[in-house]
Amino acid sequence: MSVNKTDYDAIVIGSGPNGLAAAITIQQAGLSVLLVEAKETIGGGMRSAELTLPHFIHDVCSAIHPLAECSPFFKTLPLEKHGLEFIDPVIAAAHPFTDGTAAALYKSIEQTAKGLGEDEGSYYKLINPVVKNWPGIIAGVLAPLHFPKHPFDMARFGLKALTSAQHVSKIFQSKKARGLWGGMAAHSIQPLSNAATSAPGLILMGAAHSTGWPLAKGGSQTIANALASYFLSIGGSIETNFYVDSLNKLPSARALLFDVTPKQLLTIAGYKFSSLYKWQLERYRYGLGVFKIDWALDGPIPFTAPECRQAGTVHLGNTFEEIADSEQQTSDGKHPQKPFVLLTQQSLFDPSRAPEGKHTAWAYCHVPNGSRLNMTRLIEKQVERFAPGFGDRIMERHVMNTAQIEEYNPNYIGGDIVGGVMDLRQLFTRPGLRLSPYKTSARGIYICSSSTPPGGGIHGMCGYHAAKKALRDVFNKKAAVIY
Ligand SMILES: Cc1cc2nc3c(=O)[nH]c(=O)nc-3n(C[C@H](O)[C@H](O)[C@H](O)COP(=O)(O)OP(=O)(O)OC[C@H]3O[C@@H](n4cnc5c(N)ncnc54)[C@H](O)[C@@H]3O)c2cc1C
């Protein structure tokens, strides 16, 4: 469908959580916003589809939503009225070992700590301060670098978060606690010896004990649909099948907000930028890729450990050492024989995902950026290690290597799912060291994707903060206050 030559106050390019959040924030200020999306459907990393067999609904990208549930911006929106319902699995995450036992991350910090035996006290000491100060910590973590409203809580959190997961692992003695910690920290998608790899571990565990690790009833697509439905209800416009490869393609507008990564932004609007800004974007670093697999199953995954059969997410990596080795090898450009696998089993808690008695499962492992290797055999071997008989339950599978993932969503450069490495150097300076990370050097052009702070995940906060900046600069208006 083509767009009539109409003027808009702002145009947002890309309908991921950040594009939708940016569009909503500007529309809420009483301005007119057009949201354009390259693909046939909206949602970016929040889409769901029948990837394998009819009536099996798979989350194509994101599946589990601790960040969406605690997003300060999403919380202000009436998303339930627009069809969003979160479901909390009985156990947020389980971590099985080859001896048939498992560690489990429950909503209750006490229950989780108790399950870790001799490390009960150490777990409590590590996580309790995060849980106690959660509202201040999550607000600080999901904001650009600024003077925090709760400086002491943030400083205490920061001291631990900025250390390596390897370093923090030393507080634990048991295989269970060390393994559980390793799986959480590996969400950093980096070697666990890197600085700040403790941050995702602490945030994810804090979220599990505070809000939860929910999945969206009906599929992650319902988050996108709820955001889009709300945006339309307040007067916004959406055009799909609208791939922007040049600024000339767009109707006129006073502000453009790009939910794309630096590489794409350079291609589309590079000629508008100062040489310093171009130099910064050209040096932006992308991280490891992922190999993704979805299964249609004729029954639940037969995990040996009962905790895994009640968990929304299962981390398959056995010991801390095995996980650390897998992440290090991947970072060295190799494909580990025992890759660390992140697996979710939505249909156990949401029957709408599969026909009666049947199930879906979703998994991925980290691979070198741009890898074309088919990791199906190695991923399925990892599942089989902790769930003998799994292979017999597979009715159909759908796989995506890094090239197919990038083809599916142009923001996933080389299979990088968080819009650029989230290491210490690039965590707050994404996409470059600037007074405002959202403002480009060209008047009226902003970047609002996960390549800006606070980075990857479904939370919309990059979009909210970018829109806030554009509202102030271009329109002399304030965004709705969310903190
Ligand atoms: C396999 C996988 C698993 C994941 N699991 C989770 C999870 O469980 N929980 C979680 O919180 N996060 C998860 N993520 C990460 C999450 O999906 C991303 O961090 C998030 O989607 C980034 O949001 P965004 O708005 O910045 O960009 P995206 O969601 O990537 O959206 C960008 C949109 O812009 C469009 N676009 C790009 N270029 C153009 C153009 N030139 N013209 C028009 N449109 C364009 C794209 O088509 C896309 O729709 C996962 C990602 C993947 C791939």
**Average pLDDT score, the chain:** 96
CB of 71 within 6 A of ligand 1: the answer is: no
- 327, 449, 361, 401 alpha-carbon torsion, rounded to 10°: -60
- This prediction has a pTM of 0.96
> What is the tens place of the pLDDT at every residue in 268-293?
999 999 999 999 999 999 999 999 99
CA of 411 to the centre of ligand 1 (A): 7
> What is the tens place of the pLDDT at every residue in 205-227?
999 999 999 999 999 999 999 99
Q: Which residues contact 425 (CB under 8 A, 6 or more apart)?
A: none
CA of 480 to the centre of ligand 1 (A): 24
Q: Which residues contact 123 (CB under 8 A, 6 or more apart)?
A: 112, 113, 116, 172, 177
Band (pLDDT 50/70/90 cuts) for residue 247 is: very high
CB of 264 within 6 A of ligand 1: the answer is: yes
CB of 456 within 6 A of ligand 1: the answer is: yes
CA of 98 to the centre of ligand 1 (A): 34
CA distances from 399 to 123, 364, 377, 396, 437 (A): 37, 9, 11, 10, 35
**Cα(167)–Cα(195) distance, integer angstroms:** 9
Q: What does the pLDDT read at residue 143?
A: 85
CB of 458 within 6 A of ligand 1: the answer is: yes
Q: Which of 39, 58, 61, 257 for mutating ligand 1's site (highest number of atoms within 8 Å of CB)?
A: 61
Relative to the CA of 400, which ligand 1 atom is closest? 1
CA distances from 246 to 6, 222, 270 (A): 17, 30, 10
> What is the tens place of the pLDDT at every residue in 185-199?
999 999 999 999 999
Which of 50-54, 68-72, 180-184, 479-483 bottoms out in mean pLDDT, i.e. has the lowest? Answer: 479-483
Name the H helices within 144-220.
151-161, 165-169, 175-185, 198-210
Residue % of the chain over a pLDDT of 90:
91
Relative to the CA of 405, which ligand 1 atom is closest? 53
CB of 18 within 6 A of ligand 1: the answer is: yes
CA of 410 to the centre of ligand 1 (A): 9
**Res 1 pLDDT > 50:** no
CA of 18 to the centre of ligand 1 (A): 9
Q: What does the pLDDT read at residue 423?
A: 93
